[in-house]
């Protein structure tokens, strides 16, 4: 197979996943930051990680232990191109931040490599290759960072082996605020502490909240979003891993946020709010992290931007 490009670079955005009530199934893209992955052809099959630069450099150059590399190995096994992939990774997303950095590298890699193929893969195939890459970092297959990084916006994914992906409309007055405290939290650790069982009443509450949140998005019902953007299952177990969690959340809500929770496995936190309240919500969240002696980066944005794309 030959005829595609010799080399392509793709930008894949960071993401918040899970979005509180949609553990492992619901996430949204953060267009302001992301990873840029460049993939070139080489004569012999296989995957070589040639360079890693940017805000993270101490990750494995071994393809099978690297999220981008593992995603490309999955792609190569399925597609069997008559060439190999050489990969350069430019990390824009900090490691262990809860901002979907491992997913973005995997997504960027398969989107760039897809541009080298004579017969490009369908988006859902790319999703499944990227999922194999994400598993390197988190120890499990989940899509709540992969899907928004690949497709953009707020994305719900149903199923793992045969995923159905749905981009959920977000009311135009909504702004997401995401605050990243400068500390590292390993996703695998934040997953390992989770109990395997869920109490029945919590299950009912969480199910109602997920349904309420999604229906609130479809109907632009901000009151429903406010009432349902509350994670009663995962957040109570993880919040102790984040210094000042309760104060950051309370600060966001007092400043007008509709809801505030952990971004992915943490330590980043996010809030949904209106455009008018976004500056105050962001300031309150950053102030509370500062009280914990944590420096922060923060972004406020409309949810609904583009997903991963090949750069010109
Ligand atoms: N949904 C995952 C979690 C995201 O919360 O553990 C982390 O990659």
pLDDT category, 1, cuts 50, 70, 90? very low
Q: In this predicted structure, what is the pLDDT of residue 156?
A: 97
What are the boundaries of each domain within the chain?
A: 7-167+305-310, 174-301
- Alpha carbon of 18 to ligand 1 centroid (Å): 6
Q: What percent of the chain has pLDDT over 70?
A: 98
Average pLDDT, rounded, for the chain: 95
What are the pLDDT digits (tens) for 213-232?
A: 999 999 999 999 999 999 99
In this prediction the pTM is: 0.96
What is the pLDDT averaged over residues 35-63? 96
Asked if 35 contacts 12 with a C-beta cutoff of 8 angstroms, the reply is yes
Write the residue with the smallest CA distance to atom 6 of ligand 1: 265
pLDDT category, 3, cuts 50, 70, 90? low
- Is 264's C-beta closer than 6 angstroms to any atom of ligand 1? yes
Say if residue 193's pLDDT is above 90: yes
14, 15, 23, 27: residue to mutate for ligand 1 pocket, most atoms within 8 A of CB: 23
- Alpha carbon of 106 to ligand 1 centroid (Å): 15
What is the pLDDT averaged over residues 93-121? 96
- Number of the ligand 1 atom closest to the C-alpha atom of 265: 5
- Please state which CATH class domain 7-167+305-310 belongs to: alpha beta
Q: In this predicted structure, what is the pLDDT of residue 93?
A: 97
What is the pLDDT averaged over residues 57-64? 93
Which residues 6+ apart lie within 8 Å of 240 measured at CB? none
The whole-angstrom separation of Cα 133 and Cα 39 is: 15
What are the pLDDT digits (tens) for 264-300?
A: 999 999 999 999 999 999 999 999 999 999 999 999 9
Classify domain 174-301 by CATH number. 3.30.70.890
- Is 24's C-beta closer than 6 angstroms to any atom of ligand 1? yes
């Amino acid at each position: 197979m030959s005829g595609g490009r010799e080399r392509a670079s793709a930008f894949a955005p960071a993401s918040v996943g899970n979005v509180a009530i949609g553990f492992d199934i619901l996430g949204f893209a953060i267009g302001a930051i992301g990873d840029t992955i460049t993939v070139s052809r080489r004569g012999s099959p296989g995957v070589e990680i040639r360079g890693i630069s940017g805000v993270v450099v101490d990750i494995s150059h071994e393809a099978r232990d690297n999220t981008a590399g593992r995603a490309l190995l999955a792609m190569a096994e399925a597609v069997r191109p008559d060439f190999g992939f050489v990969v350069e990774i430019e990390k824009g997303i900090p490691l262990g931040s809860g901002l979907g950095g491992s997913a973005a590298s995997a997504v960027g890699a398969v989107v760039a490599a897809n541009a080298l193929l004579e017969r490009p893969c369908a988006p859902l195939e790319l999703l499944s290759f990227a999922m194999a890459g994400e598993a390197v970092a988190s120890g499990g297959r989940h899509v709540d960072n992969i899907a928004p990084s690949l497709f953009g916006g707020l994305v719900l994914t149903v199923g793992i082996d045969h995923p159905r992906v749905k981009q959920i409309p977000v009311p135009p007055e909504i702004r997401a605020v995401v605050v990243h405290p400068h500390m590292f939290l390993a996703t695998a650790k934040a997953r390992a502490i989770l109990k395997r069982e869920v109490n029945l009443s919590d299950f009912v509450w969480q199910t109602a909240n997920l349904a309420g949140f999604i229906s609130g998005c479809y109907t632009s019902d901000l009151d429903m979003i406010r009432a349902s953007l509350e994670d009663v299952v995962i957040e109570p177990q993880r919040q102790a891993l984040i210094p000042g969690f309760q104060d950051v959340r309370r600060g966001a809500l007092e400043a007008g946020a509709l809801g505030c929770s952990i971004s992915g496995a943490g330590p980043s936190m996010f809030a949904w709010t209106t455009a008018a309240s976004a500056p105050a919500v962001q300031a309150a969240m950053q102030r509370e992290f500062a009280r914990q002696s944590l420096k922060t980066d923060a972004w406020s944005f409309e949810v609904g931007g583009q997903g991963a794309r090949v750069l010109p």
